[in-house]
Amino acid sequence: MNIPIVAIVGRPNVGKSTLFNRLAGEQLAIVDDIPGTTRDRLFAESEWNGRRFHMIDTGGIDPTTGETTPLSIGSADYVHEIRDQALVAVQEADAILFVVDSTAGVTSSDAEVADLLRSLQKKRDGKNWPPLFLVANKADNKALRDSVVEFYELGLGEPYAISANHGTGTGDLLDALVAAFPAQPEGEEDESVKIAIVGIPNSGKSSLLNKLAGEQRAIVSPIAGTTRDAIDTQITFEDIPVTLIDTAGIRRRGRIDRGVEKYSVIRSMRAIERCDVALLMIDATINISAQDTHIAGFILEAWKSTVVLINKWDAIEKNTFTIEEYKQRIRSALNFMDYVPMLFISAKTGQRVDQVLPEALKVQDQRLVRISTSSLNHILMEAQDMHAPTSRTGRILRIYYGTQVRSDPPTFMLYVNDVKLAHFSYLRYLENQIRKEYPFTGTPIHIVLKGKR
């Protein structure tokens, strides 16, 4: 299922991060009264009326060249990047929340942002422009709510008067937002194994796709993908239907080339949501980047399986210890995914590319493994015998029994005396004990606790 993406945009200091936190239901974005606090986009998942969607919190669009409003310390140097990332978010989103400040009225900056959004509408293929909602924030009293009619002059339709700080009016906004999402498609279930190629720009995703599609003696047929500006490639590998989901093409021409490496997450998000296994490509020549770890984090949050591909290995000068040094470096950066396999490849020369699909399909098989209830409880009992849970309150966690409630991803329900007594570290210990018997290579394990009534 393709989950809609909602971009929250607007000039600095109109309350975008406060709205983001309100809709996300938790304090995820840094909120500051000084404009310019939010530099990079933040991502969160939300749900309303049964529809899930992703939100992107952006830095403020600063359409003027001589912004006089003070920025938070250090952010003035990032004005262009803040603008660029917001533009990328807008061009990739399924809906846009354009936030303005009801206490300030219509400003020249608001008018310029409105013009910018209209110009982008014309550039986005001339069609499928996402619905835009004009959100007049900080309408904390009746007088301010009545005054938002002045925002009609922006020519973007009816303004929604809200207070992100207090939650007033956000329900009506969300009702309209989710109603504007595309209908969830219905049709025949695609039984192919879906493998997404994700990573920062220039990590070699397109080269790998070409190698996999062209050199695996496979039947290749391009089909339209649900990811915007992407083409899925269907192949048959060893009699198994495979859909390759490419996220190449992330780099756009013109003004948003600058610093675009930081903004490659959006399309990766879409591809990851649709895949079974993600091939996370890392450029060996620049080592693992913060953006690589961001993408890896989203793979984990989406409960998808992973194979890490260290590409451009042919360009690295090597000695006896090089590969182990790289492994340790990457394991350290991806310490939250210590179960993933790694392959050192060269999409350019074809080095070890023949191992990529077999490894991905092996990981997919592991994703579908089911453990019998008796085997699982034997593991759990032995784990508790070797290392009993500790307690600071005098009460100790007791696990009565467990069962695997689903695969894809492997999900285990453990029935316990009190959910609140379970510490994260002990759940991680239990996961490691399960993996000793059933490795679930490349696949996250989801452990859910249910307390005694």
Residue type at position 132? L
**Closest Cα to residue 376, out of 350, 345, 399?**
399
| pLDDT at site 189 | 64
pLDDT at 93 (0 to 100): 78
The pLDDT of residue 248 is above 80: no
pTM exceeds cut of 0.85: no
Q: Which residues contact 78 (CB under 8 A, 6 or more apart)?
A: 36, 39, 59
pLDDT band, very low/low/confident/very high, at 46 (cuts 50, 70, 90): confident
Span between the terminal Cα atoms of the chain, in Å: 34
pLDDT tops 70 at residue 377 = yes
- What does the chain come to in residues? 453
- Find tokens 């530099």 and name the residue: 39
Q: What is the DSSP letter of 254?
A: G
Which range has highest mean pLDDT (6-15, 217-226, 258-267, 437-446)?
437-446
The pLDDT tens digits for 8-40 are: 888 888 888 888 888 877 544 444 444 443 334
Cα–Cα dist 373/375, whole Å:
6
Burial class (CB in 10 A: 0-12, 13-18, 19+), 281: buried
Tokens of 119: 């110009």
Q: Does the structure show a pLDDT above 70 at 315? A: yes
Comparing C-alpha atoms, which of 420, 421, 443, 419 is closest to residue 431? Answer: 443
